[in-house]
């Protein structure tokens, strides 16, 4: 029997950093599902696909090959780990993630990759759609200001200068879009445990989740 941890929450709530650390600690396979939506968004820009033309989007989904290995992301064999984090991709990824056909393909892939493994997946719909029967469901939240602050720092560490106000308005726009779409909107599963990380450092959040993993593992 596999062990499944679902980590959902809005952009910048710390999902990926924390999920990676918990994965390492408990030898779980980590799946960054947001990166999968980003890879499709990247490909639609690369190929000039009009997102309002569903036939073209479906063509793209049928042709593209996406792959993940050792923290790196590949589209048609090319490493696009940096490209999928650019503001251009971030600006359209919510729109891509709202397309039903895209979600069907990626949810199917997420289930296939996870089959028979002990996994931790982070996203928006893991506990509500992808794995409704996950062993442990976490819903991470933090204030928009705190999340924007973290993102700016993240960018800074990568040598990219981003204005706090721009990042904050992008975060608020994306939350709104992700929470109000028809297809699998961002929402807390009834049986998820909510953790507000606004006033917690990363180690503290990992400690809280570790306790929950240990309680739920057996
Ligand atoms: O976590 P992220 O910022 O990399 O996610 C990118 C986008 O993908 C985000 O706007 C919401 C969407 N997403 C989704 O709809 N479902 C998921 N399971 C993961 C991400």
* Half-sphere exposure of residue 210: CA atoms within 13 angstroms, side-chain side: 14
**Per-residue pLDDT, 55:** 96
Mean pLDDT of 89-97: 94
* Pocket perturbation via mutation, ligand 1, pick of 31, 32, 124 by most ligand atoms within 8 A of CB: 124
Q: What is the pTM of this model?
A: 0.94
**Per-residue pLDDT, 37:** 98
Q: Is 134's pLDDT higher than 90?
A: yes
**Per-residue pLDDT, 154:** 86
Contacts of 111 (CB under 8 A, 6+ apart): 130, 131
**Per-residue pLDDT, 158:** 83
* Nearest Cα to Cα of residue 142 among 198, 186, 200: 198
pLDDT in tens, 11-56: 889 999 999 999 999 999 999 999 999 999 999 999 999 999 999 9
Atom 10 of ligand 1 has which residue's CA nearest to it?
94
Q: How far is the CA of 124 from the centre of ligand 1 (A)?
A: 6
Q: How far is the CA of 205 from the centre of ligand 1 (A)?
A: 21
Helix (H, G, I), strand (E, B) or coil at 138: strand
Q: Is 1's pLDDT higher than 80?
A: no
- Who lines ligand 1 at CB under 6 A? 11, 33-35, 37-38, 93-94, 97, 123-125, 174, 178
Structural contact between residues 150 and 13, judged by C-beta atoms closer than 8 angstroms: no
Q: Is 218's pLDDT higher than 90?
A: no
pLDDT band for position 209 (cuts 50, 70, 90):
very high
Atom 9 of ligand 1 has which residue's CA nearest to it?
94
Mean pLDDT of 4-17: 94
* Pocket perturbation via mutation, ligand 1, pick of 17, 20, 37 by most ligand atoms within 8 A of CB: 37
Q: How far is CA 73 from CA 4, 20, 68, 110, 146, in A?
A: 22, 15, 5, 14, 27
pLDDT band for position 116 (cuts 50, 70, 90):
very high
Atom 13 of ligand 1 has which residue's CA nearest to it?
34
Closest atom, ligand 1, to C-alpha of 125: 18
**Per-residue pLDDT, 70:** 87
Contacts of 41 (CB under 8 A, 6+ apart): 84, 89, 92, 93, 96
Q: Which range marks the domain in which residue 45 is found?
A: 4-217
Count up the domains in the chain and report the number. 1
Atom 20 of ligand 1 has which residue's CA nearest to it?
34
Closest atom, ligand 1, to C-alpha of 35: 4
- Domain of residue 128, CATH code: 3.40.50.300
Q: Is 133's pLDDT higher than 90?
A: yes
């Amino acid at each position: 029997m596999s062990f499944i941890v679902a980590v959902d929450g809005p952009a910048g709530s710390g999902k990926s950093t924390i999920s990676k650390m918990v994965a390492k600690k408990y030898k779980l396979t980590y799946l960054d599902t947001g990166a999968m939506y980003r890879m499709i968004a990247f490909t639609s820009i690369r190929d000039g696909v009009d997102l309002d033309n569903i036939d073209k989007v479906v063509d793209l989904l049928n042709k593209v090959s996406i792959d993940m290995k050792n923290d790196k992301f590949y589209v048609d064999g090319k490493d696009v780990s940096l490209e999928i984090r650019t503001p251009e991709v971030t600006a359209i990824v919510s729109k891509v993630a709202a397309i039903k056909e895209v979600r069907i393909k990626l949810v199917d892939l997420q289930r296939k990759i996870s089959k028979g493994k002990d996994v931790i997946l982070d996203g928006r719909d893991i506990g509500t759609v992808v794995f409704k029967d996950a062993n442990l469901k976490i819903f991470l939240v933090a204030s928009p200001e705190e999340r924007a602050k973290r993102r700016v720092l993240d960018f800074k560490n990568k040598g990219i200068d981003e204005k706090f106000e721009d990042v904050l308005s992008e975060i608020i726009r994306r939350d709104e879009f992700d929470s109000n779409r028809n297809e699998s909107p961002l929402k807390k599963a009834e049986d998820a445990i909510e953790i507000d990380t606004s006033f917690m450092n990363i180690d503290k959040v990992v400690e809280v989740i570790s306790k929950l993993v240990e309680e739920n593992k057996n």
